[in-house]
Amino acid sequence: MAKIVISGGVPLNGEVWISGAKNAVLPILAATLLADEPMSIGNVPHLHDVTTTMELLGQMGVQLVLDERMKIHVDSRQARHWVAPYDLVKTMRASILVLGPLVAKYGSADVSLPGGCAIGSRPVDQHIRGLQALGAKVSVENGYIRARADRLKGAHIVMDMVTVTGTENILMAATLARGTTVIENAAQEPEVVDLARCLLAMGAQISGIGTSTLVIDGVERLHGAHYEVQPDRIETGTFLVAGAITSGRVLAKRTRSDNMQAVLQKLEECGAEINTGADFIEIDMKGRRPRAVNIDTAPYPAFPTDMQAQFAALNCVAEGVGVITENVFENRFMHIQELQRLGADIRVDGARAIIHGVTEMTGAPIMATDLRASACLVLAGLVAKGDTSVDRVYHIDRGYECIEEKLSGLGARIRRLAN
């Protein structure tokens, strides 16, 4: 199995290009199922999860061509096989995103239940309840969600909790429903906004975008469109933390700062100088050691759970004590034991990790357990003394494009070993 080996201790210095957002491109690719005409999606990141989604759509009969400029041309007019099988869903939970489009457009969807995953049980009851409210008949049989419907009908839906893909599934389904749908307590994440903008470009009628109440007036059909995926705010944040943890300077280009305020505030609190422009964010630690920060994860616009593990790594070598509280997923501390293997001083108390910064961590073999945990371990490796080898890096390839090339470009000593 491939490993990433990092020889720590180099303050990063330089520029890095940010890729398109993973969690925006996945629902946008699912949304292409709704269109009556070909679509093209630009700024697509080269990631395993994108390949898996292309495979999933391809199995349904959708025609997809990826050109050399990372633009995907999608034609879903031949989609005939409205199934998301277990072998694909188990490798990528986001496969659930085809449920809403399939039932809205074709009146039929058989999507494998995703089951548990490394960061918690992650039920999909809100997706199912929302589609039922829109008039779909939904049952769970043999491990599959089976949804059937004639044309869906608009409804008033109050979500029990804020769910990103739950909101996206219902939003996509509602675009083709007869009448008006209101989704209250909707997720406001920038990736939901990006999906909604893509749906607008396809002719959907949606208001309240970016707020917790989405109002969708169903239309008869959606047409083709070209859409450019927004930059990845979590990849951006991860590279900014890489600058902070190494006391270095990193200029993230082709990105945006308006949807990252909670993360930028925490970086400032840890002593970073932040400079932003229309399409860049620069972090400069001026050689200083970071100060520890407290983090409380919650839905947008609060601090994102997808940046929690990276800040845990930062706190390990920061000055002082930082408390990390994970409020979104019940089991998202798998990276803590691995950080302890590098010499971090961390005590876990339920949903809180209390981290006392140490002046030095030392390299060791460690293992990635999920996508953001693997980013956290690579960050820790950048500062640990000696060599850190991170095993099971397939997790990182799900969500970070060319991570070792990008970090090498900033001066990190990092390489990938085939096994």
117 noted as active-site residue = yes
* Residues found in the chain: 419
Residues that bind ligand EPU (CB under 6 A): 23, 26, 93-94, 120, 122-127, 161, 163-166, 191, 304-306, 328-329, 371-372, 399
Residue 211 CB, nearest approach to ligand EPU (Å)? 17
Place of tokens 């970071």: 290
Give the residue with the Cβ less far from ligand EPU, 172 or 371. 371
Give the residue with the Cβ less far from ligand EPU, 104 or 145. 145
DSSP 3-state assignment of 243? Answer: helix
d(CA 254, CA 131): 37
Give the residue with the Cβ less far from ligand EPU, 112 or 247. 112
Strands 387-391 and 365-367: parallel
Give the residue with the Cβ less far from ligand EPU, 40 or 52. 52
Give the residue with the Cβ less far from ligand EPU, 318 or 373. 373
Give the residue with the Cβ less far from ligand EPU, 124 or 262. 124
- CA-based angle 293:297:298, to the nearest 5? 145
141 Cβ partners below 8 Å, 6+ apart? none
DSSP 3-state assignment of 185? Answer: coil
Residue 386 CB, nearest approach to ligand EPU (Å)? 28
154 Cβ partners below 8 Å, 6+ apart? 134, 174, 177, 178, 179, 180, 181, 216, 217, 218
Q: Is the peptide bond before 38 cis (omega within 30 degrees of 0)?
A: no
Residue 191 CB, nearest approach to ligand EPU (Å)? 6
Query: How close are the terminal C-alpha atoms of the chain, in Å?
Result: 5
> Residue 192: what residue type?
V
Give the residue with the Cβ less far from ligand EPU, 306 or 404. 306
DSSP 3-state assignment of 337? Answer: helix
Residue 119 CB, nearest approach to ligand EPU (Å)? 6
Largest CA distance in the chain: 63
Residue 299 CB, nearest approach to ligand EPU (Å)? 7
Place of tokens 């001066």: 411
d(CA 30, CA 46): 17
Residue 197 CB, nearest approach to ligand EPU (Å)? 16
DSSP 3-state assignment of 142? Answer: coil
391 Cβ partners below 8 Å, 6+ apart? 1, 3, 365, 366, 367, 368
Q: Which of 117, 198, 316, 376 is flagged as catalytic?
A: 117
Residue 341 CB, nearest approach to ligand EPU (Å)? 22
Within a 13 Å sphere around the CA of 12, how many CA atoms are in the beta-carbon half?
Answer: 35
| Residues acting as catalytic residues | 117
